[in-house]
Structure 1
Amino acid sequence: MEVHDLSGGGDVLARIERVARRALRRYGLSPDAGVTLINVSENATFLVTDGDARTVLRVHRLGYHSPEAIASELDWLSALRDEAGVRTPAVLPALDGSRFVTVEDPGSASRSCVMFEYVPGAEPAEHRLVEHFEPLGAITARMHLHARRWLRPAAFTRFHWDADAAFGPAPRWGRWQDGAGVDREAHAVLSRLEGALRDRLERFGKGPERYGLIHADLRLANLLVDGTAATTVIDFDDCGLGWYLYDLGAAVSFIEHHPAVPQMIDSWVRGYRSVLGLPGDDENEIWTFIMFRRLLLVAWIGSHSAVDVARELGAGYTRGSCELAERYLSGSL
């Protein structure tokens, strides 16, 4: 299933909801439970209400992750919760004890579904971003520290977020050249950006102190803040092997132009260093990873044109990317 197929038609969404309802039986929930779509991105996520109980069901898109990769995601999610003090939603087992189930989708292949506990909260408010980025930096450092020390299960498998995944012959989110509004002028600017990023990333290298298991999508929408409670990190669906600083690049996804970003970065670095060292040479490459993520998002918008956020940002995001690219290439970022 392509993401735009899932979000771009009522018939497809209705079918996905039927998959969700079939999954409820596997968890011992009432067939009359409320099933409300929360969002659609790579997958479809539903709020399930059964009497006073609330849970969250994720219905996977087709062809993105193997069963082994889904199991690996859930392994790390649970290990972070149990061993690293990172607040993540608990995975709720099915009646047979399975951490995820496979449900028939008539007219298509079967889909994997995962049930999570419901965690209250909302993404950080815009007027408090600088404040929230310091604890986010500390949370991210705890995740990275755990990733460095964790003995992964023998069958662990997740994909990489490296230059080949972004710019290789089969880029994971498509080609940035096919992004919305990539005309001749934008192509020229972004081609120079790609070349510069390739060079900087190759020099930066993939040493174990710089490259390892990361969340890879720590944007605001995947953080839940609830009063004075610790921030909850959700949606590990893109977790994989990548540069640790990519998690900071992902944290400013879609808001890279915000005037408070320099202050947000300073707060994040301060929080990160409260847990784990960050050498000055690494800090100097932060904007490399912000621009690397940004160019990936240009590709994502082009290949996910039916997803609401991609449709809303469209060609304007590409124009903004060119403006930031010129500043990055000139050394003014």
Structure 2
Amino acid sequence: MEQAVESVFTKEILTNAAAQFGITVDEKPVGEFENYLFKGKLADGTDRILRLTHSSHRSKEEIEAELKFLKYARENGANAAGSLTSLNGNLVEVQHASDGTSFYASMFEWADGQLVDRTNPAVWNDDLMYTWGKTIGKLHALTVDYPVTNLREHWDEEAYLNEMLADEELGIFTKDLIEEIQAYERKKDSYGLIHSDLHLHNFFVNDKGEITAFDFDDLQYNYFISDIAIVLYYTAWGSKASFEEKSKFAKRQLEIFRKGYETEYVLDEEWYSRIPSFLKCRDLTLYHVLNMKYEEKTQRVIELCEELKERIVNKKTIIEL
């Protein structure tokens, strides 16, 4: 979390927010990258997640738009941790900070299960890939007829990506890639509100192999294929295998993923040939995030930035499909 946000976040803000949603919370957050996340409980012991978002990150209206879509998706069969209302019946409650800014509180269902252990073949297998595909396919099927809102940004309005345009070395590569993707047609059967970040750390899998997706904070208008590219990207990102081994695995992963995905939704074949563009797009945004979030970079972060930059300059992708 940015230092300016940390300096105005207080125990009182957390306590008041929890009271508005009728829960008690652990004081130690379970997440604090772009939002503060706290595990909490209702009076009957039911687990919940309380999220506090600073006004520098999202507006109240943007968050409400996210939560309304999530509520709609959950009510229509999506495997996701749904958004819940406060004791006052609101999806978002406002907490004012000492510097005049605000924190926006929201509450979610607790996702059963745990993060995927890639070293465990009982979990990290074809069944997971199939279910992962089915989960995203269902979300895409639901977004097709969801009413359009101007309260969630389009992919090319994203700050991280646009700030890369000003980069002295990488700005030209950013501009070329944005223009390439902007040329793709925007039709409701392939472009709409998507999760945009449903990687391995944004869902839990339970002992039955069922997935529950969460963290819809990056919900945006984007091409459906971007969600699929993200799956392939982050599977490769966390692997220590060689480029050839990662590429081979990604091809197999995509094959199984599509079988699950296409039980819920079918994309025209041409979109799969465009995956490399979206892999490159994630390189750009991740490069910016790493440079922005870490004022004092560890050797590992420095190495990651160099790896990203090398791919961007040479117009390469993290895997070859």
TM-score, length of structure 2 as denominator length: 0.82
CA displacement 1:213-255 (0-9 Å, x = unmatched)? 1111111111111111521110111101111111123324554
Paired with 1:76 and 1:249, the residues of 2 have a C-alpha distance of 22
Q: One-letter code of the match for 1:71?
A: E
Change (3 A) 1:115 1:313: farther
Contact 2:160 2:288 (C-alpha < 8 Å) held by counterparts: no
Unmatched segments (≥5 aa) in structure 1:
none
Paired with 1:91 and 1:319, the residues of 2 have a C-alpha distance of 39
**Could you say what secondary structure the match of 2:260 adopts?**
helix
Matches within 5 A, 1:23-62: 23-29=17-23, 33-49=25-41, 52-62=45-55
Q: Among all aligned residue pairs of Structure 1 and Structure 2, give the percentage whose two residues are the same amino acid.
A: 19
Partner of 1:135: 131
Paired with 2:259 and 2:173, the residues of 1 have a C-alpha distance of 28
Partner of 1:315: 302
Measured after TM superposition, the shift of residue 156 of structure 1 is: 5.8
Q: Tell me if 1:266 matches 2:251.
A: no
**Could you say what secondary structure the match of 2:186 adopts?**
coil
Partner of 1:284: 273
Partner of 1:301: 290
Partner of 1:116: 108
Measured after TM superposition, the shift of residue 28 of structure 1 is: 3.1
Q: One-letter code of the match for 1:321?
A: L
Q: Tell me if 1:201 matches 2:181.
A: yes
**Could you say what secondary structure the match of 1:204 adopts?**
coil
Measured after TM superposition, the shift of residue 274 of structure 1 is: 2.7
TM-score, length of structure 1 as denominator length: 0.79
Contact 1:35 1:49 (C-alpha < 8 Å) held by counterparts: no
Change (3 A) 1:265 1:203: same
Change (3 A) 1:234 1:311: farther
Q: One-letter code of the match for 1:22?
A: N
Partner of 2:230: 250
Paired with 2:310 and 2:130, the residues of 1 have a C-alpha distance of 27
Paired with 1:317 and 1:255, the residues of 2 have a C-alpha distance of 15
Q: One-letter code of the match for 1:112?
A: Y
CA displacement 1:255-301 (0-9 Å, x = unmatched)? 43542333223322232223222222111111211121121111111
Identify the match of residue 226 of structure 1 among 195, 206, 213.
206
Identify the match of residue 89 of structure 1 among 65, 81, 89.
81
Q: One-letter code of the match for 2:151?
A: T
CA displacement 1:159-207 (0-9 Å, x = unmatched)? 1112xx35xxxx346634788xxxx9xx3xx567435523531342323
Number of matched pairs: 305
Partner of 1:5: 3
Unmatched segments (≥5 aa) in structure 2:
240-245
Partner of 1:80: 73
Contact 2:26 2:38 (C-alpha < 8 Å) held by counterparts: no
Change (3 A) 1:117 1:161: same
Q: One-letter code of the match for 1:328?
A: K
Paired with 2:3 and 2:195, the residues of 1 have a C-alpha distance of 26
CA displacement 1:21-44 (0-9 Å, x = unmatched)? 1212212345xx533310112111
CA displacement 1:52-89 (0-9 Å, x = unmatched)? 34321100022222222111111110111111x21222
RMSD of the alignment, in Å? Answer: 3.0
Q: One-letter code of the match for 1:145?
A: A
Partner of 1:70: 63
